[in-house]
Structure 1
């Protein structure tokens, strides 16, 4: 490993982190794509973490807040976390701290997408349920949100 290669890798990490937060997993992938050796990648990540430039916890917190804000439910968030390199234990801890009201979020998503009028036919209801499930909401949350919509009429 040359010191020049290490310096280039460190600069790449700083440049990537300057644009947005990244998980260590994402940075590792991006450095691999650029052809850096595993030892150079390890050293660059260690340097970034020692200086506080990169933090998986900070990344996960920001990412979770963004996912919840985008109207995603727990199941979708949990599935996407693995691909982002967010540890399940950390995700559970941050979700517990954020304490989102999943039924409220599901209801907001329902009203934003389909309006406040409850579905008139079974097909409309099924379409709404499929959409909310694809956004990661669980059946109980969907049922509660649709009941709230029905009562608000």
Structure 2
């Protein structure tokens, strides 16, 4: 390992000390710091060989983070793709987490709009748009709105 690769590895170690990073994120950050693509790749590969960097571990962390924020499956996948995480890794992490999407959608609805069901179509449309933007499906949204109405009438 030459001096440039060692310096790149030192940067990788510092970055990973703060939080998990995907291979893609590390590559981008090293390139921004002026390292060559080959030096960056070598340093990241060395970190992965030693178990310091793992896209699988990053995907699991990312899914937990997104679920805590109340995101639906499509938003989790889209955000992961932007971060360079392979779709298979995200799908595997989502399968392991096995979230209750209907309940997650309902909790997001209550967090944003409270327990009061929409009184007019405009308000209902606003709720639907928000939940769609958070990555939930129409089926999940419909179920959450029905659950909200049922809870209010009890």
On whether the aligned pair clears a TM of 0.5, the verdict is: yes
Which residue pairs with 2:145 in the alignment? Answer: 146
CA–CA distance in structure 1, aligned partners of residues 42 and 127 of structure 2: 49
Matches within 5 A, 1:1-16: 3-16=2-15
Question: Which region of structure 1 is more displaced relative to structure 2, 15-24 or 90-99?
Answer: 90-99
> Which residue in 2 is equivalent to 1:35?
34
Q: Deviation at 1:18?
A: 0.7
Partner of 1:50: 49
**Structure 2 CA distance for aligned equivalents of residues 128 and 39 of structure 1:** 48
Mark the runs of 5 or more structure 2 residues left unpaired by the alignment. Answer: none
TM-score by length of 2: 0.96
| Alpha-carbon distance in 2 for matches of 1:7, 1:78 | 34
Tell me the distance in 2 between the aligned counterparts of 1:72 and 1:42: 32
- Please give the per-residue CA displacement for 1:85-128, whole angstroms capped at 9, x wherever unaligned: 11111111111111111110000000011001101111110110
TM superposition outliers: structure 1 runs of 4+ over 2 Å: none
Match of 1:94 in 2: 93
Counterpart of 2:130 in 1: which secondary structure? helix
Structure 1 partner of 2:70: 71
Query: Which segments of 5 or more consecutive residues in structure 1 lack a partner in the other structure?
Result: none
The answer for the alignment partner of 2:117 in structure 1 is 118
Task: State the TM-score, normalized to the length of structure 1.
Answer: 0.96
Q: CA offsets per residue over residues 51-94 of structure 1, 9 Å max, x none? A: 11100000110011000110101111111111111111111111
CA distance in 1, matches of 2:2, 2:88: 36
Q: Aligned pair count?
A: 152
1:4 and 1:99 map into 2 onto residues whose CA distance is: 45
Deviation, 1:3, is 2.0
Name the CA distance, whole Å, in 2 between partners of 1:93 and 1:7.
Answer: 33
- Structure 1 residue 37: deviation in Å? 1.1
* Greater CA drift, 136-145 or 33-42: 33-42
